[in-house]
Structure 1
Amino acid sequence: MIEMKDVGFGYHAGDRLLSGMTLSLQPGMFHFLTGPSGAGKTTFLRLCYADLLPTEGQMTAFGQDLRSLSRDGIAGLRRRVGVVHQDTQFLDHLPVAENVALPLSIAGEQVDMQALRDLLGWVQLAPHARAMPPQLSGGERQRAALARAVILSPDVVLADEPTGNLDWDMSMRLMQLLLELNKSGKTVLVATHDLNLIRATKAQVAARVLRIAGGTLHLAGADL
């Protein structure tokens, strides 16, 4: 689904943040991406949904070279890759339901109100459908962000430190939703620095753990 071969990225010529990355994200896989703060986890995820393009190596998504994609091609890619940002980035003047449905509106698609209600029920936010984002707790905001990320039924779900500002119970509740998505066939990649969260989740799913260190990508050891 997403393939990297010796991929590197740098903002300036000769200044590489990431290099030599080789990875294959296959259908139905669950990956964690870890590494110290500033290692490049967010940059890695941005490459995966073509918010950034590699400056070296080859990267394909669903069989297409990212650097050859037109504007419409990138838009099509982003329909197949849902992203949960650490900063949930809601429009505070719109209620939760409209924020969740925003990707449909942007794509010019009709909003199926029953499907939207079902999705909000899945993330346990049905009672907050008409609430404004500032009224939500941190855990509720992240669950709303997850609902928004999957409303277009993507094949891949990327989550960037989704539990970074949550307590343990809220973190595990969000992880259970991500596990449910994976069990339904979605490929899931979660960037996190929380090793306890990784250990708890690996007890429930055969997750691979990737680590970015020194600007390169490694498969983490089995001791995590």
Structure 2
Amino acid sequence: MIEMRDVGFGYQGGAPLLSNMTLSLQPGMFHFLTGPSGSGKTTLLRLCYADLIPTSGQMGAFGQDLRGLDRDGIAALRRRIGVVHQDPQFLDHLPLAENVALPLSVAGEPVDMDALRDLLGWVQLAGHARALPPSLSGGERQRAALARAVILSPDLVLADEPTGNLDWEMSMRLMQLLIELNKSGKTVLVATHDLNLIRATKAQVSARVLRISGGTLHLAGADL
């Protein structure tokens, strides 16, 4: 799904942030990405959904070279990748259900109201369909963001510190949803610095743990 070979990235005029990154995300796998704050976890995720393009090395997604994709190609790629950010943004004047359905509207696809209700029920937000985003708690916003990320039924789900602002109970609730997605066949990559969260999740699902250190990517030890 995602293939990196000796990938590097740096902003023009600056030192490389990442270098010699080699990674293969295969269908149905669950990965954690860890490392200290500022190590480049978000940058790596942005490379995966073509928000950034590598400055060196080779990178492909779903069999396509990212360097060769035009605007339409990138848009098609992103339909296959759902992204959950640490601080999800919503249109505050629109009800939750309409926010979750926005990717369908942008893609020019009709909204299946039954499917939308089922999706909101899955993230335990069926009773909040008409609520405005400012009225939601942090945990509710993150579950809404996950629903929005998967409404196009992507093959790959990327989550960038999705539990960073949540308490333990809400964190595990969100992770359970990600585990369910993985068990349904989705590939999942979660960036987090919370080693306790990783350990608790690994008790329920087979997951590889990757660590960014010194701008490069390593497979973490079995003690995690």
> C-alpha distance in 1, partners of 2:141/2:101?
14
Matched residue, 1:74: 74
In the alignment, what sits opposite 1:205? 205
Q: How much does 1:175 deviate?
A: 0.2
Aligned to 2:137: 137
> Which residue is equivalent to 1:5?
5
Equivalent residue of 1:114, what SS?
A: helix
1:72-94 residue CA offsets vs partner (Å, 9 max, x unmatched): 00000000000001111111111
1:3-152 counterparts in 2 under 5 A? Answer: 3-13=3-13, 15-152=15-152
> 2:2 and 2:13 mapped to 1: Cα distance?
25
Q: TM-score, normalised by structure 1?
A: 0.99
Cα deviation, residue 14, structure 1: 5.6
TM-score of the superposition, structure 2-length normalised? Answer: 0.99
Alignment length (residue pairs): 224
User: Structure 1 unaligned runs (5+)?
Assistant: none
How big is the shift at 1:35? Answer: 0.3
Q: Matches of 2:92 and 2:54 in 1, distance apart?
A: 33
- What is the letter of the counterpart of residue 52 of structure 1? L
Match of 1:124, SS?
Answer: coil
Q: Which letter maps to 2:33? A: L
In 2, Cα distance between equivalents of 1:93 and 1:34: 35
1:164 is aligned with what amino acid?
G
Stretches of structure 2 lacking an aligned partner (at least 5 in a row): none
Q: Post-superposition shift, 1:192?
A: 0.3
3-state SS in 1 of match to 2:130: coil
> In structure 2, what residue type is equivalent to 1:9?
F
Partner of 1:171: 171
Q: Measure the CA separation in 2 of the matches of 1:87 and 1:6.
A: 30
Aligned to 2:195: 195
- Classify the secondary structure of the residue corresponding to 1:170: helix
Q: Which amino acid aligns with 2:90?
A: F
Deviates more, 1:207-216 or 1:11-20: 11-20
Q: CA RMSD in A?
A: 0.6
Name the CA distance, whole Å, in 1 between partners of 2:60 and 2:82.
17
Between the aligned partners of 1:39 and 1:91, the Cα distance in structure 2 is 30
2:79 aligned counterpart, secondary structure = helix
Instruction: Look up the SS of the partner of 2:88 in the other structure.
Output: coil
Tell me which stretches of 4 or more aligned residues in structure 1 moved more than 6 Å: none
2:215 equivalent in structure 1: 215
In 1, the alpha carbon distance for the partners of 2:214 and 2:90 equals 33
